[in-house]
Amino acid sequence: MTYNFNEIDAKWQKYWAENQTFKAVNNSKKPKYYVLDMFPYPSGAGLHVGHPLGYIASDIYARYKRHQGFNVLHPQGYDSFGLPAEQYAIQTGQHPALTTAENIKTYRRQLDQIGFSFDWSREVRTSDPSYYKWTQWIFIQLFNSWFNNNTSKAEEITELEKIFASEGNANVNAVCDDNIEVFSAEEWNGYTSEKQQKILLQYRLTYLAETEVNWCPALGTVLANDEIVNGVSERGGHTVVRKKMTQWSMRISAYAERLLQGLDTIDWTDSLKESQRNWIGKSVGASVTFNVIASETKQSHVIDVFTTRPDTIFGVSFMTLAPEHDLVSQITTPEQKADVEAYILATAKRSERDRMADVKTISGAFTGAYAEHPFTKEPIPVWIGDYVLAGYGTGAVMSVPCGDQRDYDFAKHFNIPIINIFSPLSPKGGTKNSDDLIAAEAFTEKDGFTLKNSGFLDGMNYKKATKRAIYELEQLGFGEGKTNYRLRDAVFSRQRYWGEPFPVYYVDGMPQMIAAEHLPIRLPEVEKYLPTETGEPPLGNATVWAWDTTKNEVVSNDLIDDKTVFALELNTMPGWAGSSWYFNRYMDSTNENEFASQEALNYWKDVDLYIGGSEHATGHLLYSRFWQKFLFDKGVVPVDEFAKKLINQGMILGTSAFVYRVDIVLQLQDFKWTEDKTESPYLELHSNKVFISYNLVKPFLDKTENVIIEDKILEKKIIEIISPKLKDKFKKALKETGKELSIKVSNLISPIHADVSFVNASDELDIDAFKNWRKEFKDAEFILENGVYKVGRDVEKMSKSKYNVVNPDDIVADYGADSLRLYEMFLGPLEQYKPWNTAGITGVHNFLKKLWKLYVDDNGIKVNDAEASKDALKTLHKTIKKVQEDIENFSFNTSVSTFMIAVNELTTQKCTSKDVLEPLLVLISPYAPHIAEELWSLMGNEESISTAAFPEFDASHLVESAKNYPISFNGKMRFTLELPLDMSKEAIETTVLAHEKTQEQLQGRTPKKVIVVPGKIVNIVG
């Protein structure tokens, strides 16, 4: 009997599907365990070998937990709304729903053949109306909520209305828009409904507001901050500009503190938590109010600033506002108006990216206005400068040049006085006093100084002065202690088609929610997926997209009368909407009446192990935590963190193959540029014609530039190859110019990606396959080494454009699913980035063949009831111990090695005992479930191996009587000596010293010291 992996894979995959082996139940006497993968976006390209890495790890863990007696929930689904499907629809006119369904089919086939133990009965798709019905429902809940700062949680908006009606908003401590007007109960009750709605909108957790957004013209949509990388869009790398638009936003800033605190309660990686902390960006300090000194014609203004260093307030020598700051136009004096306006115009022209790229150039303008120092009452000039960001804090800073490098540079540049307020306790550079220091740069440390020139703060250190400054500001009513967060509210509208429609219609411009019982509001059909001619989002193309408030259904736009039929929202929700709560839906994914039943939510509670990529650190993982906390406040979910433990799997990189194109240039001899430079001195024979083998590249390049061919053998060869083509070019060039040509081979070589499937394990290129690959390579010539063309190799991210993608389908066909699973784990630690190299898979494949042979020979299964040998039991139990430890530490690579060692040992021992081979199979089955099931059933078991209990480790089998001690001299191991483990320290010392090899090493010297660590080592110091 041979190991026929393809048959075995198919047989057991069918068995698992038919018997619903991995279906989880929502109540059980067993303890629950929820293992989740970040669900995939089903792209048209399908899976490559990098994608299943995390799924394999989580699958091993899920299977392990089942063996341990847990009721395991291990679901899978698709994040199926998104931009690529829409872009494809725009290009081809195919409905995104169709292409998405096709892509999902491919994904499912690819996933199935790897043998995952997913409970597919719980599959979710975010683009499915039965799913996004509840995404819409959550949106409505957010709309109907506000954040009470006194209780630090979300509460019903109807409660807020009651407060407004009975006592106004003066005492309401809510997270809301900045510029809220204060009103009494009488005023509130007298407001029109429209005005009341407008005010309430400023308190809701999702709100409609004119905000400055990141507009991406190429994609025709806005982007969230985390969708922008280095100033360009994450998808496509298009430019992004700032633009004011009316958009839905999510008031995630309300949860900033809880999102920060919650990090301490979950077992996520430090780097990921650090990213989130960074993104939330908490800073503690004070807000300070500066009065603008009123000129005779103007009304009074104040400038609010946020500072983390209220202790340095006496060092303020100017103030700086962001150019976009609202006050700028109001306080600028007529004399400075021209300057200021010119500066604002100049900064507005600079894109976000330019501003980021160029942080060194100092620029700004004086407004002509002065503010008053709250303590000294001295006038302080007010400047504007683009180093102050409109989006952070209040968009204005009190500038302390002696204590902040940016303020310092600005002051130096514009000759603004720098007041020194620091007396260093131990000045840098020894003898220098603080004034000398300040002459060169700002002093930004928080310790090592006391204050001077600072009135009542003189002589105090940072801590004391900060406290006192805040106290004094509060006494004067000019400020208070304040905590500021970098986290901005998240824009929630997208001008796209393929996303969740909002359950929203508009009456007199005010948004109205559609009642939950009428959900889902289905995505309408459109003719075109592009924005409309009037610049509206793609849903503007829909003809049936109005809400009839009497029939409670979506009707034709023609019926809009603004009395009972109203226009629906044209934006759709962003990609992260559906992914922010899907982990809860899996608990009860087919429930039509609820988001998920309370019973299911209380049973499964949260994800015990979540595995996915680190690229979601500040997007999906932050938004999901936000929604979870909100749903917890509403009493919908029982816990306020959705994932207890999270592991980021590393990326599997591709090993790209390169061929080296020689760029050949013909040059006219003694050529001089003509005046108008229209005549080119070069004729470039654009290659794709001559490729040089990898190991010849370096010798070729080491020669001086543009060597004359005739002298060099290599180039001679090149010219021979290309000469027929060249002849025509020569003739033509000679005729046209009447000049001599010299033929030069440039020393430029361009590496070009070749498809990795053309290359064998020895890096040799299949030249014919390469030639047939693309038209331009059809008549290419190859300069070989030792009769073959060798490619160069480099490790890069796997991608279609680099032709280094390895398809798991091929691996599964050639080696079987178990080989793929084992190899992905064997490559290295789960979290690490590591290159894929298909050649290496023979190692694990051979292991599986050896495993097969351990159980099966030509006559069939050879496992019997023979008594297990001591050695075999020892091998088994050390394997149980190691594998169990490894799985629990997510060290899957080392457990594969352990299996290899075990099988090698048992093969040597000729073990056939069921007592050893049966438990061994259970150990291996999470990793290689197909072969395990097959051997398990060959051994006569009727039930799936997944129902077997994990073997118990018995330490008694590992008890040793002797230890092979390493004997070292001055820490260097010289020989080993087998001694009984129960030997005393003294006896060991005597025995070792008496040993002839010891005497040889010592050569008559007396050792100074002998270290004996029983059971470990002997070290002789001499």
Question: Of the ranges 208-216, 768-776, 954-962, 967-975, which one interacts with RNA (CB under 7 A)?
Answer: 967-975
Question: Of the ranges 207-215, 722-730, 942-950, 969-977, which one interacts with RNA (CB under 7 A)?
Answer: 969-977
**Interface pick for RNA out of 766, 968, 977, 989 (rule CB under 7 A):** 968
Q: Which of residues 656-695 bind RNA (CB under 7 A)?
A: none
* Joined tokens for residue 85: 């499907």
For 433, the 3-state DSSP assignment is: coil
Q: Which of residues 532-551 bind RNA (CB under 7 A)?
A: none
CA 79 from chain center: how many Å?
Answer: 16
- Closest separation in Å from C-beta 1009 to RNA: 6
Question: Of the ranges 141-149, 395-403, 585-593, 980-988, which one interacts with RNA (CB under 7 A)?
Answer: 395-403
State which residue, 639 or 795, has the beta carbon closest to RNA: 795
- Residue in 74, 78, 69, 47 with CA at minimum distance from that of residue 59: 74
- Closest separation in Å from C-beta 971 to RNA: 3
State which residue, 66 or 882, has the beta carbon closest to RNA: 882
- Closest separation in Å from C-beta 837 to RNA: 6
- Closest separation in Å from C-beta 36 to RNA: 22
Contact (Cβ atoms closer than 8 angstroms) between residue 79 and residue 41? yes
SS (H, E, C) 179-232: CCCCCCHHHHHHCCHHHHHHHHHCCECEEEEEEEEEEECCCCEEECHHHEECCE
Q: Which of residues 721-740 bind RNA (CB under 7 A)?
A: none
State which residue, 255 or 890, has the beta carbon closest to RNA: 890
Q: Across the strands, what pairs with 661?
A: 691, 750
Number of H helices, E strands in the chain: 32, 40
Question: Is residue 700 close enough to count as binding RNA by CB under 7 A?
Answer: no
| Cα–Cα distance for residue pair 605/601, rounded to 1 Å | 5
Q: Which of residues 441-500 bind RNA (CB under 7 A)?
A: 484, 486
- Closest separation in Å from C-beta 350 to RNA: 9
**Interface pick for RNA out of 844, 848, 916, 924 (rule CB under 7 A):** 844
SS (H, E, C) 227-256: HEECCEECCCCCECEEEEEEEEEECHHHHH
| Cα–Cα distance for residue pair 800/46, rounded to 1 Å | 11
* Joined tokens for residue 864: 């019997």
State which residue, 905 or 915, has the beta carbon closest to RNA: 905
Please provide the distance, in angstroms rounded to a whole number, between the alpha carbons at the two ends of the chain. 61
- Closest separation in Å from C-beta 138 to RNA: 26
Question: Is residue 291 close enough to count as binding RNA by CB under 7 A?
Answer: no
State which residue, 165 or 839, has the beta carbon closest to RNA: 839
- Closest separation in Å from C-beta 841 to RNA: 8
- Degrees, nearest 5: CA angle 949-952-956: 165
**Interface pick for RNA out of 333, 747, 807, 842 (rule CB under 7 A):** 842
Q: Which of residues 876-915 bind RNA (CB under 7 A)?
A: 891, 893-894, 896-897, 900-901, 904
Q: Per-residue DSSP letters for 2-28?
A: ---HHHHHHHHHHHHHHHTTT---S--
Within a 10 A sphere around the Cβ of 56, how many other Cβ atoms? Answer: 27
State which residue, 346 or 973, has the beta carbon closest to RNA: 973
Contact (Cβ atoms closer than 8 angstroms) between residue 171 and residue 157? no
> Would you state the torsion angle of the CA atoms of residues 474, 476, 479, 480, taken in this order, to the nearest 10 degrees?
0
Contact (Cβ atoms closer than 8 angstroms) between residue 773 and residue 755? yes
Question: Is residue 46 close enough to count as binding RNA by CB under 7 A?
Answer: no
**Interface pick for RNA out of 45, 229, 476, 981 (rule CB under 7 A):** 229
Q: Which of residues 747-766 bind RNA (CB under 7 A)?
A: 761-762
* Joined tokens for residue 150: 């006194």
- Residue in 288, 290, 317, 310 with CA at minimum distance from that of residue 468: 310
- Counting other chains too, the contacts that 884-890 makes at CB distance below 8 Å and 24 or more residues apart are 884/950, 884/953, 887/60, 887/61, 887/64, 887/926, 890/57, 890/61, 890/647, 890/830
| Cα–Cα distance for residue pair 1016/994, rounded to 1 Å | 19
| Cα–Cα distance for residue pair 491/494, rounded to 1 Å | 8
- Closest separation in Å from C-beta 760 to RNA: 10
State which residue, 103 or 648, has the beta carbon closest to RNA: 648
430 torsion bin: left (phi>0), alpha (psi -120 to 50), beta (else) = left
Question: Of the ranges 203-211, 296-304, 411-419, 840-848, which one interacts with RNA (CB under 7 A)?
Answer: 840-848
Question: Is residue 275 close enough to count as binding RNA by CB under 7 A?
Answer: yes
- Closest separation in Å from C-beta 312 to RNA: 9
Q: Which of residues 983-1022 bind RNA (CB under 7 A)?
A: 1009, 1011, 1013, 1016-1017, 1019, 1021
**Interface pick for RNA out of 77, 395, 524, 808 (rule CB under 7 A):** 395
Q: Which of residues 818-837 bind RNA (CB under 7 A)?
A: 826-829, 832-835, 837
State which residue, 544 or 1017, has the beta carbon closest to RNA: 1017
Site size for RNA, by CB under 7 A?
83
State which residue, 94 or 904, has the beta carbon closest to RNA: 904
- Closest separation in Å from C-beta 790 to RNA: 12
Beta strands 792-797 and 646-648: pairing type? unpaired
- Closest separation in Å from C-beta 507 to RNA: 38
Cα Rg, the chain, nearest whole Å: 36
- Closest separation in Å from C-beta 902 to RNA: 10
Q: Which of residues 300-359 bind RNA (CB under 7 A)?
A: 306-309, 322, 355-356, 358-359
Contact (Cβ atoms closer than 8 angstroms) between residue 639 and residue 814? no
- Closest separation in Å from C-beta 533 to RNA: 35
> Would you state the torsion angle of the CA atoms of residues 163, 167, 170, 172, taken in this order, to the nearest 10 degrees?
-20
The residue assigned the tokens 């193959």 is 657
**Interface pick for RNA out of 11, 95, 406, 464 (rule CB under 7 A):** 406
For 790, the 3-state DSSP assignment is: strand
Interacting residues of 151 by C-beta distance below 8 A, sequence separation 6+: none
Question: Is residue 618 close enough to count as binding RNA by CB under 7 A?
Answer: yes
State which residue, 3 or 582, has the beta carbon closest to RNA: 3
**Interface pick for RNA out of 84, 393, 574, 578 (rule CB under 7 A):** 393
State which residue, 258 or 878, has the beta carbon closest to RNA: 878
- Closest separation in Å from C-beta 694 to RNA: 14
Which residue type does 87 have? Q
- Closest separation in Å from C-beta 719 to RNA: 33
- Closest separation in Å from C-beta 130 to RNA: 34
Q: Across the strands, what pairs with 71?
A: 32
State which residue, 106 or 308, has the beta carbon closest to RNA: 308
Question: Is residue 802 close enough to count as binding RNA by CB under 7 A?
Answer: no
Q: Which of residues 904-963 bind RNA (CB under 7 A)?
A: 904
State which residue, 322 or 519, has the beta carbon closest to RNA: 322
Beta strands 153-156 and 145-148: pairing type? antiparallel
State which residue, 102 or 810, has the beta carbon closest to RNA: 810
Please state, in angstroms and as integers, the Cα–Cα distance from residue 522 to each residue in 197, 359, 499, following that order.
26, 47, 10
Q: Which of residues 1-20 bind RNA (CB under 7 A)?
A: none
Question: Of the ranges 536-544, 847-855, 912-920, 921-929, which one interacts with RNA (CB under 7 A)?
Answer: 847-855
Interacting residues of 193 by C-beta distance below 8 A, sequence separation 6+: none
Beta strands 228-229 and 232-233: pairing type? antiparallel
| Cα–Cα distance for residue pair 958/269, rounded to 1 Å | 35
* Joined tokens for residue 895: 């457990």
The residue assigned the tokens 């080392």 is 894
Question: Is residue 285 close enough to count as binding RNA by CB under 7 A?
Answer: yes
